[in-house]
Amino acid sequence: MIRNAEDVRRWLMNSATCLVIVYLVLPLIVLIPISFTSGNTLTFPTPGWSLRWYSEVFSDERWINAFWNSVVIAVSSTFIASVFGILAAIGLTWGKIPGRNLIFTLAATPLIVPVVIVGVASFSFYASLELVGNRISIILTHAALSVPIVLTTISASLRGFDRTLLRASASLGAGYWRTFYKVLLPMISPGVMTGALIAFIISFDEIVVASFLSIGSQRTLPRLIFSGVRESLNPAIASVAMLLIVFSAFVLALVVWQHSRRVRLSNR
Amino acid sequence: MNDGIDVKSMHDRGRTPSQWKYVLCIAPMAVFLIVTFFWPVARFLFKSVDNSDLVSNLPRTVIALADWKHTDGIPGEDVFAALVQDLADAHANGKDGIVAQKINQRVVGTRYLVIKTARIAAKGGFAKEALRENVLKRFSKWGNIELWSAIANDLKPLTEFYLLMSVDLQKNPDGHYESVPEEQAIFLQVFGRTVWISIVVTLICIVLALPVAHAIVAARPNVARVLITLILFPLWTSLLVRTIIWMILLQGNGPINSTLQLLGVINKPLNLIYTRFSLYVAMIQVLLPMMIFSIVAVMRRIPVNLMKAALSLGSPWLWAWWRVQLPLIMPGIFTGSAIVFVFALGYYITPALIGGPREQMISSFIAFYTNKTLNWGLASSLSIQLLFLLVLVWLIMLMSRFVFLKRTEK
């Protein structure tokens, strides 16, 4: 009797879980057939299969241009956020800084403040410097949004780092930079890489700030999709969305791989 | 001992410079965030009370109107002279557009009046004698007492005009605060709607996340890893892409409608997109993973045998869950709710693309007043309200968590 009730409960729980997973994942999968349609509209079932919308995307200069804009912006902002993040993480983890928790909280505010406020505020700020439509304004704002993530992941790996290794390295005659490059950086690299990959994807996928700051030929990929969607939902958009999902999945795989590396490093 | 080393002072000497080194490590990030984040945001939020565009461009009018009250009737010759002179200067400095915009924000439909008056004033088009009559003859709108009291009411370096407007209030000519006319009152409704949508989304997220979190914790490690990856994957996909997918799925001839039609459940497409329903569906799909992970993180630390103990003592499962399991999960639910609710409050892209006009949240209005009407004061005031809401939510969360933990400790 009890045995039975528990089975029913487990069955209910598992089916509820399956339904939720389907709700979360199925939409992403349904996009695959839709993006390969041969028709002119996004109907499903599709009238036929073709690669025409993908070839259209790859031959359209605007999409290619926007893709490179996004890559340049994401790489630059990730680099800036990582440099500031590594330095600050070292200072905050190893130093005995008064008000350390306050600094962590303040550094996390870019994540908490609604992005639309960050977007409008940056727009107003960079407009006064005549930098709207310039990549620099987006790069700096995206870097500010990424700093909390990078800071958190790097701090986590620094806490697991044995500082006697630094003294060992110094006693063997290595200077600051040499110790940093040869000892510290390789040891914390999984944390740095995880933070950097998340920062990259934050910038690469970011649309709200971009919708205020990126205009004309400097439009990022999400920005171009956003304005395209507002005009019409056509299959080219579905193809670009599909490419973005594949791209994100690839970066996610890298993150998971880095994470397993970190686990292995810390188990050694 | 007297020739011994003073260990303490050596320690201090050794310590002070090394701490400076760490402060220097933090400094670049601090400076960077101040310049690219805190300063722009503070500067933007200040626009909610900043009135310098109006005051600094109408210096003579400010003085001339100092003693004027709306009961005095239309202002006299001196005020008109001051205004004409100020507008002429503003036109010469290219500031007439901004003055016109600011006055127009207070009394709608006065933009061209101000610009034309300024243009004529700059050319010296108004006769010096009987200036007041002259201006009034050309532009009878300057005889509008409400326009004058709106200007006179607000000739201070800092104004409360925009903040009041963002909560549907205004200052009447006597200087008292009153509600704006009903047809202009929109913002309180938008705030209510934003909070309501966020509450519904958070509650549904809790309900959907609980069974999934239970399943992940109960599953074998390999299965749990697969489940987590499946949940992580949509979380990792861009918000814009997920919103677009829901647009495609929910549209009139999209997969959902055509499947239902094929099955004969319906005979004409359902109106799914641009509704409250579509907004909930899309927002919950985006925010649910965060709730699941928050709950799983807490659940993993709960010993399994507590539930078993309660059950073995004869408690019905639901009662045991309610009394034993749920209180232990509560911290995770609080954290998850805070995250989901705060993110939901600030939603902009999803309502803009998938919601109808009645689904627009505060963020959409902040963007609208920035992009479309360049009303920075109002956009900034609405942002302040949004931040205020956010802080309030965090305080409530902290407090309820505190009260809750106190109670369970007993």
A111 versus B203: the higher-pLDDT residue is B203
Are the C-beta atoms of residues B353 and A229 closer than 8 Å to each other?
yes
Count Cα atoms within 13 angstroms, Cβ side, for A13: 16
R_g of chain B computed on alpha carbons: 31
- Judge if B160 and B257 occupy the same domain: no
Contacts of B318 in chain A (CB under 8 A): none
Q: Which two tokens stand for residue A188?
A: 């914390």
Q: Which amino acid would we find at residue B264?
A: G
**B211–chain A Cβ distance below 8 A for any pair:** yes
Are the C-beta atoms of residues B208 and B289 closer than 8 Å to each other?
no
- Tell me if B383 is assigned to some domain: yes
Q: CB-CB: which of B19, B230, B349 is closest to A207?
A: B349
- Judge if B153 and B193 occupy the same domain: no
Q: CB-CB: which of A88, A115, A238 is closest to B26?
A: A88
The contacts found for A16-23 with CB under 8 angstroms, 24 or more apart, are: A16/B211, A16/B212, A16/B215, A17/B211, A17/B212, A17/B214, A17/B215, A17/B227, A20/B208, A20/B211, A20/B212, A20/B288, A21/B212, A21/B227, A21/B230, A21/B231, A23/B208, A23/B285
- Tell me if B173 is assigned to some domain: yes
Residue B1 has pLDDT above 80, yes or no: no
- Tell me if A186 is assigned to some domain: yes
Q: CB-CB: which of A17, A113, A248 is closest to B237?
A: A248
- Tell me if B28 is assigned to some domain: no
- Tell me if B212 is assigned to some domain: yes
The residue among B184, B217, B244 that closes a domain is B184
- Judge if B124 and B73 occupy the same domain: yes
**B222–chain A Cβ distance below 8 A for any pair:** no
- Whether B241 sits inside 8 A of A205 (CB atoms) is yes
**B293–chain A Cβ distance below 8 A for any pair:** no
- Judge if B63 and B176 occupy the same domain: yes
Largest CA distance in chain A: 75
Mutate to test the interface with A, among B15, B23, B33 (most CBs of A within 10 A): B33
Residue B10 has pLDDT above 70, yes or no: no
Residue B106's nearest CA partner among B159, B41, B59 is B159
ipTM of the complex: 0.90
- Tell me if A2 is assigned to some domain: no
Q: What's the CA gap between A162 and A156, in Å, rounded?
A: 13
Q: CB-CB: which of B26, B29, B386 is closest to A97?
A: B26
Predicted confidence at residue B17, as pLDDT, reads 53
Could you list the pLDDT tens digit for every one of the 268 residues in chain A? 456 777 888 888 899 999 999 999 999 888 888 888 888 777 767 777 888 888 888 888 889 999 999 999 999 999 999 999 999 999 999 888 888 889 999 999 998 899 999 999 999 999 999 988 889 999 999 999 999 999 999 998 888 888 888 888 888 888 888 888 888 888 888 889 989 999 999 999 999 999 999 887 789 999 999 988 888 788 888 899 999 999 988 888 888 887 777 667 666 5
Task: Give the residue numbers spanning the domain of A107.
Answer: 63-267
Rounded (5°) CA angle A31-A201-B281 = 45
Q: What are phi and psi of A157, to 5 degrees?
A: -75, -25
- Whether A230 sits inside 8 A of B353 (CB atoms) is yes
Interface of A with B in 230-249 (CB under 8 A): 230, 233, 237-238, 241, 244-245, 248-249
Contacts of B255 in chain A (CB under 8 A): 30, 34, 44
- Tell me if B26 is assigned to some domain: no
- Whether A122 sits inside 8 A of B40 (CB atoms) is yes
Nearest chain A residue to B311 by CA distance is: A2
Task: Give the residue numbers spanning the domain of B352.
Answer: 187-409
Please confirm whether the linkage preceding A190 is cis (ω < 30° from 0). Answer: no
Q: What's the CA gap between A103 and A97, in Å, rounded?
A: 9
- Judge if B363 and B236 occupy the same domain: yes
- Tell me if A227 is assigned to some domain: yes
Q: What is the count of residue pairs from A and B with beta carbons less than 8 Å apart?
A: 238
Select, from the ranges B64-73, B253-262, B322-331, the one with the highest average predicted confidence (pLDDT).
B322-331
Mean pLDDT lowest for which of A25-29, A249-253, B25-29, B128-132?
A: B128-132
The residue among B164, B184, B204 that closes a domain is B184
- Whether B254 sits inside 8 A of A9 (CB atoms) is no
Are the C-beta atoms of residues B175 and B136 closer than 8 Å to each other?
no
* pLDDT interval class at B293 (50, 70, 90): very high
Q: Residue B177, SS3?
A: strand
Are the C-beta atoms of residues B210 and B295 closer than 8 Å to each other?
yes
Predicted confidence at residue B276, as pLDDT, reads 92
Nearest chain B residue to A6 by CA distance is: B317
> Burial level of B407, CB count in 10 A (0-12/13-18/19+)?
exposed
Predicted confidence at residue B16, as pLDDT, reads 52
- Tell me if A55 is assigned to some domain: no
Cα B226 to Cα A27, B156, B220, B233, B238, distances in angstroms: 18, 62, 10, 11, 21
- Tell me if A23 is assigned to some domain: no
Q: What's the CA gap between B229 and B211, in Å, rounded?
A: 17
**Tokens 């958070």 sit at which residue?**
B202
Which CATH number covers residue B367? 1.10.3720.10
Helix or strand (DSSP H, E) at B168: none
Mean pLDDT lowest for which of A64-78, A203-217, B10-24, B84-98?
A: B10-24
Are the C-beta atoms of residues A110 and A220 closer than 8 Å to each other?
no
**A51–chain B Cβ distance below 8 A for any pair:** no
- Judge if B157 and B200 occupy the same domain: no
- Tell me if A155 is assigned to some domain: yes
**Model confidence pLDDT, tens digit, residues B258-280:** 888 888 888 888 888 888 999 99
**Tokens 């909610």 sit at which residue?**
B48
Q: Which residues share a beta bridge with A49?
A: A37
Contacts of A201 in chain B (CB under 8 A): 236
- Judge if B173 and B201 occupy the same domain: no
H helix and E strand count, chain B: 21, 2
- Judge if B229 and B339 occupy the same domain: yes
A217 versus B43: the higher-pLDDT residue is B43
Answering whether pTM is above 0.80, one says yes
**Could you write out the DSSP letters of every residue in B292-339?**
HHHHHHHHTTS-THHHHHHHHTT--HHHHIIIIIHHHHHHHHHHHHHH
Beta-strand relationship, B177-179 and B169-171: antiparallel
Residue B23 has pLDDT above 60, yes or no: yes
Predicted confidence at residue B410, as pLDDT, reads 52
Q: Which residues contact A238 (CB under 8 A, 6 or more apart)?
A: A31, A34, A35, A37, A42, A53, B244, B248
- Tell me if B298 is assigned to some domain: yes
- Whether B366 sits inside 8 A of A24 (CB atoms) is no
Predicted confidence at residue B6, as pLDDT, reads 47
**Tokens 């010096």 sit at which residue?**
B128
**Tokens 């408690």 sit at which residue?**
B315
**Domain count for chain A:** 1
Q: Which two tokens stand for residue B239?
A: 């918000």
Q: Which amino acid would we find at residue B63?
A: I
Q: Which amino acid would we find at residue B329?
A: I
Contacts of A106 in chain B (CB under 8 A): 33
Interface of A with B in 113-172 (CB under 8 A): 113-126, 140-141, 143-144, 147, 151
Are the C-beta atoms of residues A249 and A42 closer than 8 Å to each other?
no
Mean pLDDT lowest for which of A83-97, B128-142, B329-343?
A: B128-142
Q: What's the CA gap between A31 and A144, in Å, rounded?
A: 33
Helix or strand (DSSP H, E) at A30: helix A2-35
Interface of B with A in 341-370 (CB under 8 A): 342, 345-346, 348-349, 353, 363, 366-367, 370
- Whether B353 sits inside 8 A of A229 (CB atoms) is yes
- Tell me if B35 is assigned to some domain: no
- Judge if B100 and B214 occupy the same domain: no
**Model confidence pLDDT, tens digit, residues B368-408:** 999 888 899 999 999 999 999 999 988 888 888 778 777 76
- Tell me if B39 is assigned to some domain: no
- Judge if B173 and B112 occupy the same domain: yes
Q: Which amino acid would we find at residue B339?
A: I
Helix or strand (DSSP H, E) at B79: helix B77-92
For chain B, percent of residues with pLDDT exceeding 90: 33
- Judge if B353 and B233 occupy the same domain: yes
In 3-state terms chain A splits into helix, strand, coil percentages (rounded to 5) of: 80, 0, 20
- Tell me if A29 is assigned to some domain: no
- Judge if B101 and B88 occupy the same domain: yes
Q: CB-CB: which of A84, A117, A119 is closest to B28?
A: A84
**Domain count for chain B:** 2
Which CATH number covers residue A170? 1.10.3720.10
Q: Which amino acid would we find at residue B147?
A: L
Are the C-beta atoms of residues B26 and A91 closer than 8 Å to each other?
yes
- Tell me if A247 is assigned to some domain: yes
The residue among B137, B165, B184 that closes a domain is B184
Contacts of A211 in chain B (CB under 8 A): 349, 367
Contacts of A119 in chain B (CB under 8 A): 367
H helix and E strand count, chain A: 12, 0
